[in-house]
Amino acid sequence: MGQLKEGIKAPTFEGTDQDGRQVKLSDFTGKKLVLYFYPKDNTSGCTEEACNLRDNYTALINQGFAVVGVSMDSEKSHKNFASKHSLPFPLIADTSKKILNDYGVWRQKSLYGKSFMGVVRTTFIIDEQGIIEKIITKVETKDHTAQIFKTYQ
C-alpha cells in the first residue's frame, strides 16, 4: 500500500485487543476514531502517550472520539500494559504487522547510527465515514490529546 494521505478512505483493519475481543474499523462507523500506532508497551514515550489519552478519555468521548492503540506487542503484553495503567480503550496486538504495514507505519528507523525496522509513532484520525481526516506524524507524547484537539481549531 502506498503512502496514506488525508482525505482518502482508511484501510480496513481487524485485530484482537488485550481482552481477546475482535476490533475492526467498521465498529467505529458514526464516530471519529483516534487510531494511534506506538512502538512498544511499557516504554517511557509509549506510556506517556497512553496515559495522556487515558487522562483525557472522557473529554475525547464527549467530543465524539473513540480511541484504539496498535502495536506489535502480544495480547498478554497489552493486557499487562492496560491493566498497569488503567487504560480504558482497546489495544490491538498486531503481531503479524498487517495493520502496521497497511497504515505504512512499519518502516526503516535509525538510532545511534544503527538501522532497523520498527513502528513509527503516528496517529490517524478517521472520520465517521472511514475517511482519514488527519495524520499526526510528530506526536507529542505528553500532551497528545491537546495536539489532537488543536487539529480541529
Catalytic residue among 46, 72, 105, 132: 46
Q: And the C-alpha cell for 149?
A: 484537539
Q: Cβ–Cβ contacts within 10 Å for residue 4, how many? A: 18
Known active-site residue 46 = yes
User: Which residues, listed in sequence order, are joined to residue 66 by a DSSP beta bridge?
Assistant: 33
How far apart, in whole angstroms, are the C-alpha atoms of residue 46 and residue 10? 23
**Residue whose C-alpha cell reads 498478554 in the numeric block:** 76
User: 3-class SS at 41?
Assistant: coil
Residues annotated as part of the active site: 46
